[in-house]
């Protein structure tokens, strides 16, 4: 019997409080990620930012079969050569450097990669793209801070995004105020939201499975996106 694929989930780096401890910097991963990975028949492994793995990511990637670039705070605009907009906050350069290194090397290895929200933005930056730091119609994507909004997304027929989701028109859980500006090298756009044709999905057609979704599929335990990643990783295990 083949072993379950191992999916690495990048952890956020945030201030947190629990029990008697307040405002302590912690590695955080919403439980929805690991639950969805387990539901998909894979083993979830949380990945904290690590300088050694940033410098030499292969040692860490060698124990994984797929990589999830999770949601979280804005990226440091310096990572894509920009000055911070007034709405760009809470970025952690340590996390950015670690995840950019992992993402770039995972792509080089043709490892299955799924970028979610911030993770889609990081995927674009890892490929040389830039971000729009404050979408003009961000109210569609973040109606209330801390609460997911819902809106439709149109996916390109035959795209990896459409195959992963199982349909071309999906209702999504959304919470972001930034988006794609200049598209990174090797990436194509495969999903859009109205109004304004905001980019909702990107992918790399010359790789086995490299997909970015600006929405949060992990907030829906029935979403097929994590299952699609696990299936791609399972093929890596079987190879």
* Residue 39 falls inside a structural domain: yes
Give the pLDDT score at 209: 98
Q: From the candidates 141, 175, 177, 216, which is the catalytic residue?
A: 216
Burial of 14 (0-12, 13-18, 19+ CB in 10 A): middle
CATH of the domain at 137: 3.40.50.880
CB atoms within 10 A of CB 167: 9
Euclidean distance between CA atoms 11 and 168, whole angstroms: 30
Residue 60 lies in a domain: yes
What is the model's pLDDT at position 222?
82
Going by C-alpha positions, the residue among 30, 75, 34, 55 that lies closest to residue 179 is 75
* Catalytic residue of the set 200, 203, 218, 236: 218
Instruction: Please report whether residue 72 resides in a domain.
Output: yes
Whether the CB-CB separation of 96 and 88 falls below 8 Å is answered with no
- Asked whether residue 213 is assigned to any structural domain, the reply reads yes
Does residue 218 have an active-site annotation? yes
216 in active site:
yes
Please say whether the beta carbons of 174 and 213 come within 8 A. Answer: no
How many independent structural domains does the chain possess? 1
Is 1 a member of any domain?
A: no
The structure's pTM equals 0.92
Domain assignment present for 19: yes
Catalytic position from the list 36, 117, 127, 227: 117
Going from the first residue of the chain to its last (239 residues), give the mean pLDDT of each consecutive group of 10, the final group possibly shorter: 92 88 86 96 97 98 98 92 82 95 98 97 98 71 60 94 95 80 97 81 98 93 93 90
What's the burial of 59, exposed, middle or buried (CB within 10 Å: 0-12/13-18/19+)? exposed
Domain that holds residue 154: 6-238
């Amino acid at each position: 019997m083949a072993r379950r694929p191992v999916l690495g989930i990048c952890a956020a780096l945030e201030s947190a409080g629990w029990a008697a401890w307040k405002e302590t910097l912690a590695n955080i991963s919403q439980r929805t990620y690991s639950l969805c990975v387990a539901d998909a028949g894979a083993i979830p492994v949380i990945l904290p930012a690590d300088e050694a793995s940033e410098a030499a990511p292969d040692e860490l990637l060698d124990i994984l079969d797929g990589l999830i670039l999770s949601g979280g705070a804005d990226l440091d605009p310096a990572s894509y050569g920009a000055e911070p907009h007034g709405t760009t906050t809470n970025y952690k350069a340590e996390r950015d450097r670690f995840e950019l290194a992992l993402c770039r090397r995972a792509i080089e290895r043709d490892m299955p990669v799924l970028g979610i929200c911030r993770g889609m933005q990081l995927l674009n930056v890892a490929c040389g793209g830039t971000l729009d730091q404050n979408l003009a119609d961000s109210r569609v994507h973040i109606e209330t801070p801390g609460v997911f909004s819902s809106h439709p997304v149109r996916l390109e027929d035959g795209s990896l995004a459409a195959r992963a989701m199982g349909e071309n028109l999906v209702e999504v859980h959304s919470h972001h105020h930034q988006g794609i500006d200049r598209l990174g090298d090797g990436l194509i756009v495969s999903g859009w939201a109205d109004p304004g044709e905001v980019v909702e999905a990107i992918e790399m057609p010359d790789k086995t499975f490299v997909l970015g979704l600006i929405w949060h599929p992990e907030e829906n335990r029935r979403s097929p996106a994590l299952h699609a990643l696990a299936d791609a990783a399972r093929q890596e295990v079987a190879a």
